[in-house]
Structure 1
Amino acid sequence: MDKQPRRLSLAQQVPNLMTLAASCAGLTSIRFAVEGRPDQAIALIILAAILDGLDGRVARMLRSESAIGAELDSLADFLNFGAATGILVYLTVFGSGHSLGWVAVLIYVICCVMRLARFNVDTKAPDPEAVPGWFTGVPSPAGAMLALMPIALDRTGISLPPILIAVWLVLVGWLLISRIRTPSLKLVRLRSDRMRFVVVGVIAVGAILFTWPWQALLALDLAYLLVVLWSLRRGMRHRRRTTEAE
């Protein structure tokens, strides 16, 4: 007997609609990048990152998680944080015809694809070494924000030579596919009576991002780099203690 398809209410389709909206933001970001409008392009990538952070949580709240939703999320991440981000960096920083820049962008995008593929595999067959509440490697939205850092530097008056930007993109690609344990927001636990402060804080950060996008992005990138360095040091200390114990 054929299995009856699961029925979902219209409200339960909201997470998938959010994911599709993020995909539309990524595609429109590519359009703005081609038209030479990086401010609008990066704003849409930030919007896609916000939607990416919310759609899974909304799905869990509405109990509407599904296999197709997970696949849509992964495909949207590749589009937004791989292809759209890479094209924006290439056209804005390197300009068309810059072969070295294109190679660096290709490496970054391929690393993003590999990171998402590994995440999908780990979701279906969990990694026995995985630590709850921690990512293996830098997640793709954070990687995209790091990849956009040269544009933020340029917009705040600090221009880097193309060779350094190319090296930076390759480094970000390596962070995506590395085994470095980076913390997830799932680690954060707050009392319910303090959630109002979180809501105000999120609104404030969003307002700052859309008012001073380049300065805010640069500050967030530097803060996240400190988190990555802390995670790297933490992992090295853990491996050293494990080796000494053996």
Structure 2
Amino acid sequence: MKHDDLETDPKRDRDLPLVKLLPNLLTLTAACAGLTGVRFALLGEFQWSVRMVLIATILDGLDGRLARLLRSQSPLGAELDSLADFLNFGVAPALILYLWTLNDVGGIGWMASLCFTLCCLLRLARFNVGQKNGNGSSDYFEGVPSPAGALLVMMPMVAAFAFPGLPEIPAWLSTIYVLAIGLLMISRIHTFSFKNVKIPRRNARYVLLGAVLAAALLFNFTWATLLLVMIAYLATILVALRVKPGGGQKDL
């Protein structure tokens, strides 16, 4: 063993402020939410399953921003975030949907679940490569981002919760829908990236008011509001295709 190996690295021994652990704590909490969603599905509590994935999506949107705010980005945090994303947006929704309806078509439904999970895995791998190549900033993404894909793939469930009086969605139709969302995730079509959206300073108060009202609607009319948000996001994909046809950002 070299003498240098016995020396203490002052940077590694420097005390770490507890607050800088918050982003990783949010990431781990999101992973717990995703796994809990699967547990609720096993118990037949599918509404709580969707809620858990929604919570995981919100936490995923917060942890990175909090890390940048606290200047606590680290390779460990990046790896944790990627692994948690695969669990929350690739594994959990596929299992929840399979337990909800896809198991009615047997092996075909399981294959659809597997395809969605693999599409999410490929999506996240493309994201990691894009980050390493410095393609992390753009007004557009290539395909549907994995968090949006996880919510969109559960739209049949949300529609069933919002309108319980409607006829039950056939399992074969849900199977086709799951495959379609998976393909959208790995496609080259443009989708809007809202990371770089800017608003006039004078309109900030209205945006804040709108956000509060949207949160209130989501709390009081969860399924109808979530369904409207999903439909609106699908509409933005059509708009993006008209505005900027072709391939987009190669990072997510």
TM-score, scaled relative to structure 1: 0.87
Aligned counterparts, 1:1-246, within 5 A: 4-5=11-12, 8-95=16-103, 98-126=106-134, 132-155=138-161, 156=163, 157-192=166-201, 194-236=203-245
Preserved CA contact (<8 Å) 1:139 1:176 = yes
* Superposed displacement of residue 153, structure 1: 2.2
2-structure distance, mates of 1:51, 1:163: 32
Q: Secondary structure at the match of 2:195?
A: helix
TM-score, scaled relative to structure 2: 0.85
- Structure 1 gaps, min length 5: 240-246
Q: Secondary structure at the match of 1:39?
A: helix
Runs of 4+ in 1 over 6 A off after TM superposition: none
* Superposed displacement of residue 158, structure 1: 4.8
* Superposed displacement of residue 187, structure 1: 2.6
Moved more, 133-142 or 187-196: 187-196
* Superposed displacement of residue 192, structure 1: 4.4
* Superposed displacement of residue 196, structure 1: 4.0
Q: AA paired with 2:138?
A: P
Q: 1:195 to 1:62 in 2, by over 3 A?
A: farther
Q: What is the match of residue 242 of structure 1?
A: none
Q: Secondary structure at the match of 1:185?
A: coil
- Structure 2 gaps, min length 5: 248-252
Moved more, 156-165 or 27-36: 156-165
Residues paired across the two proteins, number:
236
* Superposed displacement of residue 146, structure 1: 0.7
Preserved CA contact (<8 Å) 2:102 2:172 = no
Preserved CA contact (<8 Å) 1:20 1:76 = yes
Preserved CA contact (<8 Å) 1:25 1:48 = yes
* Superposed displacement of residue 202, structure 1: 2.7
1-structure distance, mates of 2:196, 2:131: 18
Q: 1:36 to 1:183 in 2, by over 3 A?
A: same
1-structure distance, mates of 2:209, 2:53: 22
More relative contact order in 1 or in 2 (CA 8 Å, sep 6+)? Answer: 2
